[in-house]
Amino acid sequence: MDALIPTYNRLPVAFTCGRGAWLFDAQGRGYLDGVAGIAVCNLGHAHPAVAAAVAEQAQTLVHTSNLFRIPLQEQLAERLCAAAGVDSAFFCNSGAEANEAAIKLARRDGARKGMAKPKIVVAEGGFHGRTLGALAATGNPQAHEGFAPLPEGFLRVPYGDAEAIAALDDPEICAVLVEPIQGESGVRIPPAGYLQQLRSLCDARGWLLMLDEVQTGVGRTGRFLAAEHEGVRPDVVTLAKALGNGLPIGACLATAAAAECLGPGSHGTTYGGNPLAARAALAVLDTLESENLPAMAAGAGESIRQRLADGLDGVAGVVDVRGRGLMIGVEVDRDIAHLPRAALDEGLILNVTGGRVVRLVPPLTLTDDDQQRLADGVVALLRRHLEPAAA
């Protein structure tokens, strides 16, 4: 590990294989995965449909570059645009890159409307990635530390407060970029109607509504996009994480009106949407449909939240159990950064965000038994860590 730049605090375990919602170490010990590679492996580990598609494509054609037409990429664009209610797609390799594309698109749109320094409205606590543009959009001062100068052109407002955005009076605003549910800052769900309010506001002011669905998208919250819960269609939406079930792929989807400002030569990437990644994503979309996974996520999420709420009822220190579909947060009143390590000893993989929130983003394919085990495991762990030692 000394040969790695120490950007991560890693847990002391390495997995050698996975099946469904389970990961196994070299000793064959199983761990129930409540994280899914951080909301990535929505179909579970080593899903046979994705494995077969990737293996076949790897033996056929992996990469040709965007100098040429890529039929698999075109197919994927059509499928995603139909699902998101937009018209066209740009493919890249990660969530940060998808957001960079969205930011560049918004700036171009502003520039053609005559803005010298177009600005994008973003939210406190928002997370959009670690590249400089996406980092500047990210509302976490800690993540900015030591990386000045960051790109300008972002106006930050409190999350979930549409009024705060309505009150902005700046003729150079070109877009609003937010997550439908904030993931990294602790599964923060905005008030009902927030996205609808943003939609009306953007329509009235001629701004682009850009949703970062890198974490919430691809079925995680019980719908393909979280925006569907409010019947909202964004002008631009970014996807990544679960899109390839672990194969790196990101997408920036946009309406024709928004996308037309990015003509030939305006943006690009070498790998983006190559045949291998596109094939993996097509297999993901097929499986999402054939296994009815968004609906499964809605049901599983409901039952896990219920079980968590029942099991944690009356436990001092538990502030909130919340979530949508299989994006679940359990907020407590103290720092629990050590919890993932303790969970590992119990054969459970979970994650803590925002310091005080247990985040569960398991595969959408959890069996009933996995669901119960996950909820009961978290309850037992939290009870043990929050309740004073039994006398």
Ligand X SMILES: *Cc1c(COP(=O)(O)O)cnc(C)c1O
Judged by the rule CB under 6 A, the positions of this chain that interact with ligand X are 94-96, 99, 127-129, 179, 183-184, 212, 214-215, 240-241
> Mapping DSSP to helix (H, G, I), strand (E, B) and coil, where does residue 136 land?
helix
Beta carbon of residue 126, minimum distance to ligand X (angstroms, whole number): 8
Q: Is 370 a catalytic residue?
A: no
| Whether 104 is catalytic | no
Q: Which is nearer to ligand X, 184 or 228 (CB)?
A: 184
User: Smallest distance, Å, CB 387 to ligand X?
Assistant: 32
Return the H-helix or E-strand segment holding 122.
strand 119-123
DSSP-derived secondary structure for 171-227: TTEEEEEE-SSBSTTT-BPPPTTHHHHHHHHHHHHT-EEEEE-TTTTTTTTSSSSGG
Query: From CA 329, how far away is CA 81, in angstroms rounded?
Result: 30
* Set 33, 90, 119, 127: catalytic member: 127
Q: How far is CA 4 from CA 7, 8, 10, 149, in A?
A: 8, 9, 11, 26
Q: How far is the CB of 39 from ligand X (least distance, A)?
A: 7
Of 212, 224, 235, 370, which is the active-site residue? 212
**Cβ 313 to ligand X shortest distance, Å:** 30
Peptide bond into 149 cis (omega under 30): yes
| Minimal CB distance residue for ligand X | 95
The one catalytic residue among 33, 109, 241, 370: 241
Q: Which is nearer to ligand X, 307 or 322 (CB)?
A: 322
State yes or no: is 212 an active-site residue. Answer: yes
Report phi then psi at 220, rounded to 5: -50, -45
Q: How far is the CB of 302 from ligand X (least distance, A)?
A: 22
SS3 content of the chain, % helix, strand, coil (to 5): 40, 20, 45
Smaller CB distance to ligand X: residue 122 or 366?
122
Evaluate whether 194 touches 188 at the Cβ level (below 8 Å). no
Residue entry with tokens 């996975």: 18
Nearer to ligand X, 121 or 381 (CB): 121
- Nearer CB in complex with ligand X: 181/375: 181
Q: What is the DSSP letter of 131?
A: S
Please list the active-site residues.
127, 212, 241
